[in-house]
A and B are shown apart, each in its own frame.
Chain A
């Protein structure tokens, strides 16, 4: 009995401590914002960025790095939130509207779910910029600008390049089932290089992904090119080739330091980069320009941040930027 009591008293203390710690964290962050406010002078704008990021992804880290750099450069208070599921992301956009932010940057990966609430933001006279995903839907949502890559175009350029490379058969590796954007990339590849087969792998489990790609390469020796849709997946594909003894060329979408080094070493043919840092930076900057100077970019058309080729010809210039999380 007494031991239970003692445990309970301990539990209550832990609970109190937790509350206190969280409260303290909150207070200091508030203080920081206020002190910066005083230093900068004038009204500090608040921009909400709501994305479909799956937490802990290197690609999204670059988008956030760009957004944060832009927020710092323009003295904007950036409120970032994310959820990979459309309905939950829509609720987060509603959350931003409730918070009366000055501007909203949003991704439309789950367009049907998110558009209705983006329209509400437009009705509430919050300027909206769509970035990363939603090139076909951003205008319908009432957004003024779009920054991102055209996935279909990017896929087509990859397909053309494989064709001119004398490819026989391409394997397009989709690392997350059910993503419209990833499907569009592989569909684009198939448009300009018809002998393309899709394979679904679990990108969240790299060893399993490697095994799946390796198994496919062993099963089908006709494959001459492996197209991966993310830089981390390209590394898994390279390992799979070593395991299976395949000679297929790996080409990839997006970049990370390892993939950049592999391009330099000639292990990866090329990368089509959609420049995530630029997407995050421009989304915040465009909102800032709009709010402070009434500008808009793109002349009513999407502003493309990709496809931008990274290969042996320009890797020397780009390689240093990959290590500080900007490419």
Chain B
């Protein structure tokens, strides 16, 4: 057997040299005077190893990049009776291209793996195993590679898993189970969820590349049906060491992925993702088909992972119950500023759990929903929010409270009597209803609103412009305030579309007798832009970054108009 290596990467060259030595193949490599000579001298039974870099990397050995060039290459290789192995680096594998190769390997790779791929390609070509109808294959292969990560699926890798199992007689399966709370999409929008998934995918690729560099006998596949992943690996035979190594990988993986999500998207979003790892070890048994052993191992590991998830959920429910019992929540008060004068107009109360894993209000409510404790939680938070501020609220200031439309189904809320809350004057309270929660029964909902209005409460539509409801449904609620979603505000100073949309919202609101509050103002330039547009009120970290429970002092709130501009 002869290997023709069209390879430039030094690590890969070293690997192929060592692989050739292992399998006793002759090696031809020449990346300096082009590939033309090598390709013109191809002989039947040769195996061509082609390095290919994904994305816009122009440093590829073959300069093909496009599928057309690769098809030409394949035609040439196959025409000579040789086999083609793609060594692919960077970016997800493109099935359309992979299908043109007899075998492929993801970089970085080790000599052992490479040798196995080269031999397998040679064998396949000898058997004329690969059908020539590329179009049909492409459709087929689309099912076989995870679109997001580019990891192959199990059917593609079953052969390799078998090899791994047979080499050592045992194989460990780590099942990586991802859970994204639906709330991410509901609250932050599908684009955010896509971003989070992309972050996870690239972190997973990076993690795998690192682990793979440290240990050769490791392989990651995607379990498409459940958006989960399976990592095959080999661990020491001694049980204590094995346990230690397993726990090591699982912990590294979880920490790695979590910190990537947290770095890119913040703690609140990271707390809405769950990563659970389950493990199982398969031992070769000559009486049982290897595939069956593998699938059995995967099932076991998956069950272990789901068990971990279940356990975590149960624990969170218990934690929530004790949170409610002990009142272990704290309230952050975010000032709302009159844009023109920069006086404090009021405060929005935001609840957070004391326990770290129940810190984010989204998680609090998600768990509460599971445990059927939403009303209890809401009551606690409302009471706390009012008690924490009512004595300090200035005579002309308002308290903004977040209300879930479900709260209106709570009889104790509906019969809300201002005395119970300790509120003397309901007109100082603004109830915020988020645009994001679908309101099913509009007429009834409006009746509730009317009853509250009669008592003097005011209303705000929260998250307006986050894309869940149009201007029409905002008008239906006839709010006193419209709170613009942060997606309309961030970078509004340089985005003219946002400026235009916010202008539209302001004149729409004024037509309705309502006022507009911009949320999420973080930069001076953003503040200046919304002041110019005439947004009535402003809220955001530019004025006050919440650090502790309690009411911020006036002096801790940044003044913009009077402070000097930085250079």
Real complex partners, A and B?
Answer: no
Interface residues, chain B, with chain A CB atoms under 8 Å away: none
